[in-house]
Amino acid sequence: MSKPVLSVLGALALELSPGAGPGRQALDAAEAGALAGLVARDLAKLVPEAAGLDLALVAAPFDPVELLRPGYPLHAELERLVARAPGVPGGRVIGFGAGADGLPETLRPSADFAGGPLKLLPLLLRGDAADVAPVGERLEQVLLDTGMAAADTALAAQDGFAVAVEHARLLTLNDLAAMMALQYEHVGLAPLWPLLEAALLAPGSEQWLDAPPEPLAVYANHGVRMALLDVDAWAEGGFAPEGADAERLARAFERFQMRQRQLAAVLEAHGVPVTYDHCPAGQDPRAILTE
């Protein structure tokens, strides 16, 4: 009987200089292998037992929303490819780079998210569960505080992608999620995070955003349902500012609709589908969303 296999999911995070963008969207196979070797060395310095596990890295820069999606599909594809890779498992270092036709479509960053100052190269450590579990536990403890990549690793990424890199560090996906939660809080998207966290960590759960004047939404059944309110239902539901005249109410309702679109766009960028349920005045929108 084969032993159970486990993976630690993570990334090499590149913080780019302000206004900079990668000059290349993928390294070639040789460059990818070399960068993967440097990352494997850096991880083994922090947790020596990591050297006995397979390490795989995609040498292409992704946006955080492409990694933080339900089921972690990018890492799932990376796991599938590692499982099929030649060689005896245990200590292999595999870098996935671009061939003559570029990267496979399943490992190709989306042009929709090409901007942004933080770029991530997905990686994983894979092996027998009994060996991987303590390594993963230790990495969760140390990477966030001590996971800066070595200078030659950062330089290899900077030269390879032809972009100025201010910082290069190693993260687990849990570290990345914590960073994104903090970033969303800084840009006024904190109310959204519990919905996204449920989709990532507890996909079978139910989670509400029920905090007027924020839009009303519920995560359940692997998607988000959002209440689509007309102006009367919006005012009736306690979303409107009290004592406002007609002109101020109209502006507030327009802002509410813009906020709905903003939240839906962020969720969909993370791969969480959003549907709208029309909730007319005189009916409880919470009851409609749970039908």
Q: What is the pLDDT of residues 172-231, one digit of tens each?
A: 999 999 999 999 999 999 999 999 999 999 999 999 999 989 999 999 999 999 999 998
pLDDT of residue 243: 66
pLDDT of residue 239: 77
Find the range with the poorest average confidence among 39-53, 196-210, 238-252: 238-252
| Model pTM score | 0.94
Joined together, the tokens standing for residue 271 give 């791969």
145/278 Cα distance (integer angstroms)? 47
pLDDT of residue 141: 94
For the segment 9-32, what is each residue's pLDDT rounded down to a tens digit? 999 999 999 888 899 999 999 999
Contact 275, 213 (CB under 8 A): no
* pLDDT exceeds cutoff 60 at 1: no
Instruction: Please return the burial class of 255, using the count of CB atoms within 10 Å of its CB with bins 0-12, 13-18 and 19+.
Output: exposed
* pLDDT exceeds cutoff 90 at 234: no
Confidence of residue 154 (pLDDT cuts 50, 70, 90): very high
Ordered by start, the domain boundaries in the chain are 5-186, 190-289
CA distance from start to end of the chain: 46
Joined together, the tokens standing for residue 211 give 């905090």
Q: How far is CA 251 from the centre of its chain?
A: 34
Instruction: Please return the burial class of 263, using the count of CB atoms within 10 Å of its CB with bins 0-12, 13-18 and 19+.
Output: buried
DSSP-derived secondary structure for 83-131: HHSSS-SSS-EEEE-BBTTBS-GGG---GGG--SSEEEEEEEEEEEHHH
Q: How far is CA 182 from the centre of its chain?
A: 13
Mean pLDDT throughout 127-145? 94
Mean pLDDT throughout 257-281? 96
Joined together, the tokens standing for residue 97 give 């780079």
pLDDT of residue 237: 79
pLDDT of residue 83: 92
Mean pLDDT throughout 133-138? 96
Alpha-helical segments (H) within the chain: 29-46, 64-67, 73-84, 129-146, 151-161, 173-186, 193-201, 231-236, 246-269, 285-289
The helix (run of H) or strand (run of E) holding residue 226 is strand 223-229
287/290 Cα distance (integer angstroms)? 5
* pLDDT exceeds cutoff 60 at 240: yes
Closest CA to 176 of 224, 126, 121, 226: 121
pLDDT of residue 187: 95
24/89 Cα distance (integer angstroms)? 31
Strands 223-229 and 54-58 turn out to be: unpaired
Mean pLDDT throughout 221-245? 85
Contact 235, 254 (CB under 8 A): no
277/139 Cα distance (integer angstroms)? 43
Mean pLDDT throughout 158-162? 96
Closest CA to 6 of 178, 134, 176: 134
Beta bridge partners, 102, equal 99
